[in-house]
Each structure stands twice: as C-alpha cells, then as structure tokens.
Structure 1
C-alpha cells in the first residue's frame, strides 16, 4: 500500500523522523535508568559517607554477570564494533534482543560506578530498533544501513544536543557515503532526536560552558603541544585497551575475570575517586576551574594546596582512566568508550594548561580542557571532524575553531601514523569485515565467498587411467578443468583440458597412463575459513589464474572463477552505490 501512495524517498524520510524520535527516547531512557540507580544508592546505601563507595562497581559487575548468565544468556558485545560487523557481514541485520539488553546491562554497570560511558549502549539499542524497523518494512540492505547510521546520529544528537557532530560521526565512523541521499535522512533523524531530548529534558545540557577567553596567535605553539600530547595519549589509550583485554582473555571463566577486575577497579577508585562513573561532573568541575571539587576526597587531601600535587593527581587520572574503563569492560561490564575518552582528554588538556601557567605563561585552562577532549576523540576514534564540530557545538560557537583544528589535526596525524585501526575497527579489519570509505574495499567486504563458489566440477582420482578419466570425467562434464582428489577428498592436483588435448585421442595410452601423469599443482589456493574477498582478489591478480580451488576444512570444496568473481563485484558495486 505504501508504494502506491508514498515514494521510496519520502518513506525513508518518514522513517528517519521515527528513528530519530526513538533514538532520542532510548538516550533519555538509558540516562534516566542510570540516574535512578545512582539516586537509589545515594539515598538507601550511604556508601559515600563511609568512604567505601569503591566496592559499588564490583557489585554492579556481579549484577551484570548474573543477568547475562541467568536471564539473557547472551554474551555482552561492544556496541560500535558489533554494529559495524552487522553492516559488513550481516546485511545490517541486528537481533531484536539488542534493543533492550543495553538498557539493562549498561545502567547497571555505570549506575554502580563503572568507569565507562552510556553513549555506546544507547547507539547499540537505537541501531537495533532501526534495523528491526527496516526488516519489518522490508527495506533493502543499503537503505537499512543508512537508517542504522540515522539511529547512531540520533543517539549522539540527543545526548550532546549537537546534531551536526552527530551527522559527521555517522559518516566518519560508519563509513556512510556523503551524498544528498544520505545527508538528508541523517539530518532529519538528528533534528528529531534533539527535539525529543528538549521535550523530555528541557534546556539541560551536559556541559555548561561559555567561552570567555578567545584564541590569540601567541597560543598557537601551546595548542600544537597539546595536539602532540593528545596524539601520544591516544596511542597509549589504544595500546592499553588491547593489552588489558589480552590479559583478561587468559582467564578461563567470566567469574575469574569479574573477581580480578572488580578488585583492580576497587583499588583504583580508592586512590583516584574521580574514576568513579561516567565523569561528566568531573569534566564540568574542570571547566569551571574547580579542580579541588573535581578531585574529591583522596588520600592526598593534605597536599592539595601544592599545585604540582594537583597536577600529579590529574596526570594519574589521565593515565588510569583508560585502565579503569578497559578493566570495567574486560571484567564483564557494559558501556562505551566515547565518554571515557572525553574525560581523559579533558584531564590532559587541563594538565597541559596548568603546567604552562605555572612555568611563566598564561593560557585558558577551560579552553585547553575542551580542546583536549577534541584531541583525544580525534586520535582514539580517528574521527577528527566529529571532534571539531562536537566541541564547537558544545561551546555554542566557533571562536575556538582555529585551535581545535590545530590540536585535532596534530593528534589525528600522529595517531593515524602509529595505529592504522581504532579500538572499534582493529579486529574487524583483521577478519576482513571492515567497511571503509574506500569503495572498492567496502564492496569486497560486503561480498560473501560462498556466493561465488562453483561446485559443478567432475572430480578425478590420481590412480584413474586416461581412458577412465575421458569416459567418466571429460565426457560427462561441460568444464575444461578437473580437480584431482584422494580418498579423503583432499585436493592433490588439477588437470586442464588443454593438458591432455594432444593425447586424448591416442587409445594406446588409455590403459598405460594415469591421471597422476597429467595433473599439475594449482597456482594458488583459496582457504574458505581464512581468506577475505580482498585476499581472494589479490590471489587472482598475483597468480594470473582464471580459476582457483577452494579448500574448506582441509578438503576440496569447489572453485572460484575470475569471471564470476568480477560479475559479482560489479553487481555488488551497483547495489552499494547510492
């Protein structure tokens, strides 16, 4: 019915509005559930007064562990990587359970003080809603992928009230094509999501900040220094993330990970209380210049009149925020990395400003705090434009645009040269499941190997005579290629019709020669379990072959022909291009 009265384009616009509203509702819901848990703990369990609040994250991890084990029985997946995998290898299909699971596990983790963010889970839930709406309305894969990008943009726009940064995030991180066909739905979803946030939360914003110190040319060198610092910190952030995950992967059970992780988090929180929870209050305290309130009660309170002790504590927060975040996730918690990245960046920016101001110069600590956030976002997420426009929208203007560009570009260049893939994309890239802005590579990523494998080849045995091969193989096949397999179906060679053309009519050889006499080794092999489509294409290019055998579980499985591969590539390219 809708095809009769509503065009496809207008229907996508209507879905974008709906998805934006739902993404806004998801963001509001996940925040309110978390705030309710925090309020409940503050009112009923007076841990803060007894200075034993540091055990709360462990309790939260236990609750998540019990929920996953007893109720959902589904392992917790990291939000953005799982969405990217769905886009590349599952045609944008996301299980409906992922609509509600993040709304339970993430508030339990963050509400009890886990050092992670809520943005990733909000994006995951909104994307699952978008995917299932697309399935319900029988939307094609390309449009479904765009609508998932709309959901991500909506979640970000709702939380930060920054629609432009939200659109750019969807384009940079989800590798969406920047065309009018994709831009308008993203814009519609972002705006409707922001309006939803205003409706439920009013003018409430995460960061209350007004620029009072404008950029001067004399500060250029200091912003370059900040860019270098945030670039190095971004590399550290990514390296420590994978190192800690590698450590926790050594444990055999989730229970062991929880115990070790909970103990580690408790120790870190005891000495560095600001690591508790998401950290938005901490950022706001730094922006307002109240570093004493930001640090809270620490074992070093008697020394906070010394600015260098304050700087040392802030450096500790910069270093251990990444550790606390990754430990929370690796121990079984649910959450995102974007907010912790901002916390770490704001702390580093504040540290750099304090050091500069205490060695004889004068810079704005608030501006450096903001721009430090942008530097870390650009470096850790490889999303420089998102970083620039997010901070510009948070500050309500573009007075800091030049220093943002300086710091962000330095951070991004340093990090990109040192680390090719982000926390989100490293494992996907290793699996050959990563969509990028390189259209050729993205098309190959979307292609499935089993869709181009041909199996209608007559197999031969090495001990068969030439006569048997002609009667039972060549005469019954329309192919000019014959795989030779042993009794265990392992490929031992191939025979081309051209190889036997000169002897196939010599009947004196029918009984005296065997298949083994004529078979040769194929120029290369395609391994079904390990080779990506990019690797398959490279093997054809390097070998010059027109057909390559496919090996699955060590046995012959079929052939891929270059002609069928290129035909499938062209078809996928047409479907991929808007």
Structure 2
C-alpha cells in the first residue's frame, strides 16, 4: 500500500490478521469519518440547545426578562460575545481565516492538514454563538468539525496528501449531510466548494459513502421529517416561469451585496475597532441584541422564521419580509466581523426565503393566484438562488433546497432562478464569498489547487493602462513622436468615436518612410485593421500563446463584445507580470509552509504588520523583548523576503512572520499594538 496511502503497513490490521486492499482501507476510513462526523454534528446540535437554554431561556427570559423586557437579549448576547471572544483568544489564537476559507486554503496548499487539536474549542465557541442568538449559521461550523475529523484520521495514519484531502472532503460532505439531512447536497458541496470543482470517480465514491453514513445515522436518531416541515403550496400556471426568471434577476444583486457587506464589515471592524477579541465580540453581541429587540427572528439560524414563512406566508407582510431579509444580511456581517463563530449558509437561506417570499406576495397582489401560484413557492426558489449566488455552488444550492423540502414539483423553477442568479452574480463578483476571501489575499485557485505561474494571472492584471493610442487621421510625423513619447513599439489606432480601429507598429512607420510617398499617408492607411484582441478576464497564458503563434508584439485589450479599448498587452507587460507572479508564488509557498508548521508543531505561525506607531518600529531584533518561546522567522519588506539576524532593524511597513507559543500570542500582539481578526467566512 505504499504508493496509494503513503504507508508501508497498518499494524492494527496486521495484528488482527487482516490483509486489506488499498480501496477497501479507504472505504473503511470513509465509513469511519462519516460515522464520527455524524455523531459529532449530533453532539454539536445538542450543545447549541444547551447554550440556548442557558443564555436565552434562563438568562434572557427568566433572570433578566422581568427587569429589562425585550432588552434582555442585549445583555445575554453581550455576555455570550465576551465568552466566545475569550475562548477564541485563549485557546485558538490568531487565524488567517476562520471557517471554510481556512479549510479550502489548507486543502489547496497543505494537503488537507488542519489543526485538529483546536477543533473542540472552535465547535464549543460556535455552539455558544448560535445558542445565544448570534446571527450566524451552524452549517459552516459543522463542516469545520467534519473536515478536521477527516484531517485527524489522515494525519494519524500518515496518509499521502491526496488521500488526506479526500478524507477532508468526505468529512465536509458528511457534515452537510448530517446538518441538513441532505446527503446528495453534501457530496456536491464538497466537490464544488471544498475541492473547488476537482472530480474523479474514486474520490466521488469515498465522499458519497461518508455522506450516506452520516445521513443514515442522523435520520436514525431524529427521523426523516423534512427540516422545514411538510409544505403546502400551489405552483401556478405556465406564465410563472417568467416570474421565476425575474426573481433570479432581482436576487443576483442581493447575492453581490451579501458578499460585499460581509467583507466590508470585516475590513471596517479590523481597521477601526481596536479592542481585544472578547470585547470586540461583546460589542457585536450588543449591536445584534439591539436589532433583535425589534426583529427577534434574525437571531440564530432563523429556521423557525423560515418555516413560518414557508408554511403560513400570509402572516408576514411584504414590508416585514424585506426588513427581515436585509436586517439578517447586515447582522450576519456584524456577527462574523465582531468575532462570533458561525457560517453564512443558514443566513443566505434566510435572506433568500424572506426576499423570495416578498417577491411572491408582490406577484400575488398583481396577478391572480391561479397564474402566479403561492408566495411560498418563490420563497423556496429564493433560498436556493441566494445560497448558490453567495457560496458560488449552484448544484449544491438546487439539491440542498430540494432535499430540505422533499418536494420535486419545484425543481425546474428552482433551477431557473438559481442559474440566472449565479450567472449574473459571476459577472459582478469574480468568486464566491469563501474563495473571494482567498483571492483578496492573493491566492487564486483552479479546481482545488493553486494554479501554476502564468495560468494564475489575467490579462487585466498584466496589461498597460491607459493604452497608448493615436487617431487614424494622424500624420506619420505625429506617429513618430507618439511612439517616442510612449516608449513603446506599437500603438492602438482609434477612430473618431474612440473605438479600436487597428494597431500600428514601428515597423509600419519605417515601411511608410521607405516607400517614398509623394504625399505621406495618414496612420489609418498603414495600420493593421484586422486585429486580434483579448478581454481583461482572459487568462494571460492564452494571450501569450496567441501573440507567439502570430509573432506580434502587442495585443489590444477590449471590453468583451465591443471595440472599446481598456488596455494594451505588450512583451514588456508579460515580463513584469511574470516577475509579479513569481513573487506571488513564493508567498504562497511560504504560506503553505506556515500551515504545515502550525499543524505539525502546535506553535502559532503568525504574520504581523509593523505600523509607524508600533513600539518595535525602528528597533533591532535583539533589542526587542520578545515573548518566551517565540522566533522571528522572516521579514517581508517591499516585495523582498529577509532572513532576520539580531542586528536587523525593524521598520514601519515591514511584515514579520513569527513562530510563537499559543499562550504567549497575547504578549506578541502587544508589541504590534494590534488585535488579529480573521478573514470573513
């Protein structure tokens, strides 16, 4: 079993006299991961109920309710935030990202190695967040649990990175299957999000088996009743298809807003709220509590409110549904940015339900019910559309809502609404909320892996802007001067509307002068009119191959489907892009090493930016009183990586990579005067 699993022997199986094949062992591990994840998610749900009883039923209702009334949730959520922040600061420490983004990064860069030792604390913090009423979802923490379980077995058995990644995917699928009672959606979620589109028959069977085992276990304990109850709605006439298409059009900007608001809130809190983690989470809890006084439905995952809308939509007015949808969106962003632990799956389903229901009420008020159908049907379609648009997992969104409702009648309208929403969202935001988090930090993934060198950069990143241009009526003398001024060998020729008309090179100019024309022609007569162009979103490698095949030195870049110029790609641009991408690749290799070191040693490998007001700015390494059991591993300065020595001076603007014991991370933060906040989930 050398090549397949990375092990010479399995001592336990040898002692039992079992000689199992590679595929058999992997399938047994899939069953083990699925069952362990199912049990863990079940215990996680019990923990949520326990903390809900403590912080809401007892503290907010019984103890404080008689004194503060509805305002008691402000106090209970503030105290919960304090507890969650303390747990994460004390036992988990700084993380580059929390939730799914961290798992995707570890799968892509570190072979699925995760810090499984801190998983119980993170699960407890998530259960406390959800039980107290923070506006987050339980599904992402469930995925974190399943992924860490898969990584645990992979690391303990010393599996190869390929097999460890597969077990992480199996654990993630099992978690979705257990959390939603949706094994099919769990499988495709793992393929679409965790493995980022990577698919093979072998991996599919392992993930399916783990997902089914987890789902069977949960259903044996809780029954097979749909999560949102049994729904009763009418479909309407054939004209409803137009309405579902319109719903997809309207929910696309909502999905875009969800992604941007979450990242905007993260940046806002990280930049302006300079508090320790417990106090920051407490502040977020207070803000969510204030809103919950008026909109109690936004607390927690919100499944009761969703079930109420789907089963008795007439009790919710059009205005209330809009306020609940956008209120949930904002409070989810505040909860995550402030430091509560949870995910965005349930919030996206909530937002889609409310706004889809509002659309259904509007349609029912305009057209007769026999034409439009029930408003609840639009709420169901909205669930799938917003979830798929935000997470960028259309197959998962469609199958998840189908399994949640257990009703096949809506599958075609759901598919239409979801596909339109995802298509438009992709035009506005380059990636889903988790992969966009990685993209913002410079990690571009393709099919679950960091793409290689020039395939990881677009034409828009490399092109020259604004493009050097000249009008088609310009003289040869003007062309010569313009080439000299722009320091390039080619210019884009534009017409009187400013649109691309051709391209002219230094060789064209030389040929025109050598022709000895009695009357020198204008630029438009000597330029090349049939021009090959590129779009900003094209992969740079494709553009390079086009230039090489035709031996051209410049490629105009235009908006797709138009002749509107946005840039010019030249050989100089390609050289600069190559240098940039090599630096990016080096940084990603550095990051992969950090993840592996984190996992293998238990120490924290953290990056800290030196601000001008930091106490260590201007000091030498040897003069700083570093915390015990800490080492400065590297300094990144102006695109260069420096190996520090005792006499190395720390400058404002430097980024230091420090290996530090978990218990001393707070002392390290004091040296930089900053609190580390994770990227949004």
Aligned to 2:541: none
Unaligned runs of 5+ in 2: 1-8, 457-574, 590-637, 644-681
1:283 pairs with one of 285, 306, 323: 306
* Structure 2 Cα separation of the partners of residues 445 and 135 of structure 1: 32
Unaligned runs of 5+ in 1: 296-309, 448-522, 537-549, 556-578
C-alpha deviation, 1:79, in angstroms: 1.0
Task: Give yes or no for the alignment of 1:417 onto 2:427.
Answer: yes
Aligned to 2:191: 171
Question: How far does the alpha carbon of each residue in 1:224-249 deviate from its partner, in whole angstroms, 9 at most, with x for none?
Answer: 11111211110111111111112111
Check 1:415–1:191 CA distance in 2 against 1; reply closer, same or farther (3 A cut): same
Aligned to 1:470: none
* Structure 2 Cα separation of the partners of residues 370 and 139 of structure 1: 42
C-alpha deviation, 1:316, in angstroms: 1.1
Task: Give yes or no for the alignment of 1:51 onto 2:70.
Answer: yes
Check 1:368–1:180 CA distance in 2 against 1; reply closer, same or farther (3 A cut): same
Question: How far does the alpha carbon of each residue in 1:124-158 deviate from its partner, in whole angstroms, 9 at most, with x for none?
Answer: 12111110110111111111111111111000011
2:50 pairs with one of 8, 12, 36: 36
Task: Give yes or no for the alignment of 1:553 onto 2:646.
Answer: no
Task: Indicate the RMSD between aligned Cα atoms, in angstroms.
Answer: 2.9
1:121-160 equivalences under 5 Å are: 121-160=141-180
Task: Name which of structure 1's ranges 386-395 and 328-337 shifts more when overlaid on structure 2.
Answer: 386-395
Task: Give yes or no for the alignment of 1:80 onto 2:90.
Answer: no
Task: Give yes or no for the alignment of 1:180 onto 2:201.
Answer: yes
C-alpha deviation, 1:180, in angstroms: 1.3
Whether the 8 Å contact between 1:89 and 1:446 is mirrored in structure 2 is no
C-alpha deviation, 1:38, in angstroms: 1.4
Check 1:528–1:62 CA distance in 2 against 1; reply closer, same or farther (3 A cut): same
Aligned to 1:378: 388
**Normalization by structure 2: what TM-score?**
0.62
* Structure 2 Cα separation of the partners of residues 438 and 84 of structure 1: 8
1:396 pairs with one of 399, 402, 406: 406
1:246 pairs with one of 259, 267, 276: 267
Task: Give yes or no for the alignment of 1:162 onto 2:215.
Answer: no
* Structure 1 Cα separation of the partners of residues 275 and 54 of structure 2: 31
Task: Give yes or no for the alignment of 1:68 onto 2:88.
Answer: yes
1:310-389 equivalences under 5 Å are: 310-362=317-369, 363-389=373-399
The number of residues matched between the two structures is 451
C-alpha deviation, 1:331, in angstroms: 0.9
1:270 pairs with one of 279, 285, 293: 293
* Structure 1 Cα separation of the partners of residues 121 and 323 of structure 2: 33
Whether the 8 Å contact between 2:91 and 2:118 is mirrored in structure 1 is no
C-alpha deviation, 1:173, in angstroms: 0.6
Aligned to 1:12: 26
Whether the 8 Å contact between 1:528 and 1:551 is mirrored in structure 2 is no
Check 1:103–1:259 CA distance in 2 against 1; reply closer, same or farther (3 A cut): closer
C-alpha deviation, 1:553, in angstroms: 3.0
Whether the 8 Å contact between 2:453 and 2:581 is mirrored in structure 1 is no
Whether the 8 Å contact between 2:81 and 2:282 is mirrored in structure 1 is no
Whether the 8 Å contact between 2:313 and 2:376 is mirrored in structure 1 is no
* Structure 1 Cα separation of the partners of residues 446 and 182 of structure 2: 24
C-alpha deviation, 1:102, in angstroms: 2.3
C-alpha deviation, 1:430, in angstroms: 3.6
Question: How far does the alpha carbon of each residue in 1:349-370 deviate from its partner, in whole angstroms, 9 at most, with x for none?
Answer: 1100011112233221221111
Where 2:409 maps in the other structure, the secondary structure is coil
Question: How far does the alpha carbon of each residue in 1:86-140 deviate from its partner, in whole angstroms, 9 at most, with x for none?
Answer: 1122221001223212221001111111000111111112111110110111111
Whether the 8 Å contact between 2:231 and 2:310 is mirrored in structure 1 is no
Whether the 8 Å contact between 2:79 and 2:282 is mirrored in structure 1 is no
Aligned to 1:482: none
* Structure 1 Cα separation of the partners of residues 53 and 21 of structure 2: 48
**Normalization by structure 1: what TM-score?**
0.73
Check 1:15–1:112 CA distance in 2 against 1; reply closer, same or farther (3 A cut): same
Whether the 8 Å contact between 1:88 and 1:446 is mirrored in structure 2 is no
* Structure 2 Cα separation of the partners of residues 528 and 325 of structure 1: 35
Check 1:16–1:359 CA distance in 2 against 1; reply closer, same or farther (3 A cut): same
Task: Name which of structure 1's ranges 203-212 and 331-340 shifts more when overlaid on structure 2.
Answer: 203-212
C-alpha deviation, 1:41, in angstroms: 3.9
* Structure 2 Cα separation of the partners of residues 244 and 42 of structure 1: 26
C-alpha deviation, 1:253, in angstroms: 2.3
* Structure 2 Cα separation of the partners of residues 171 and 282 of structure 1: 30
Whether the 8 Å contact between 1:388 and 1:404 is mirrored in structure 2 is yes
Aligned to 1:24: 38
Check 1:252–1:193 CA distance in 2 against 1; reply closer, same or farther (3 A cut): same
Task: Name which of structure 1's ranges 320-329 and 212-221 shifts more when overlaid on structure 2.
Answer: 212-221
Whether the 8 Å contact between 1:228 and 1:411 is mirrored in structure 2 is yes
Aligned to 1:216: 237
Where 1:355 maps in the other structure, the secondary structure is helix
Aligned to 1:299: none
* Structure 2 Cα separation of the partners of residues 371 and 48 of structure 1: 38
Check 1:222–1:234 CA distance in 2 against 1; reply closer, same or farther (3 A cut): same
Whether the 8 Å contact between 2:81 and 2:283 is mirrored in structure 1 is no
Where 1:220 maps in the other structure, the secondary structure is helix
Question: How far does the alpha carbon of each residue in 1:397-416 deviate from its partner, in whole angstroms, 9 at most, with x for none?
Answer: 42112101110011001101
Check 1:291–1:114 CA distance in 2 against 1; reply closer, same or farther (3 A cut): farther
Whether the 8 Å contact between 2:151 and 2:164 is mirrored in structure 1 is yes
1:101 pairs with one of 114, 121, 144: 121
C-alpha deviation, 1:205, in angstroms: 4.0
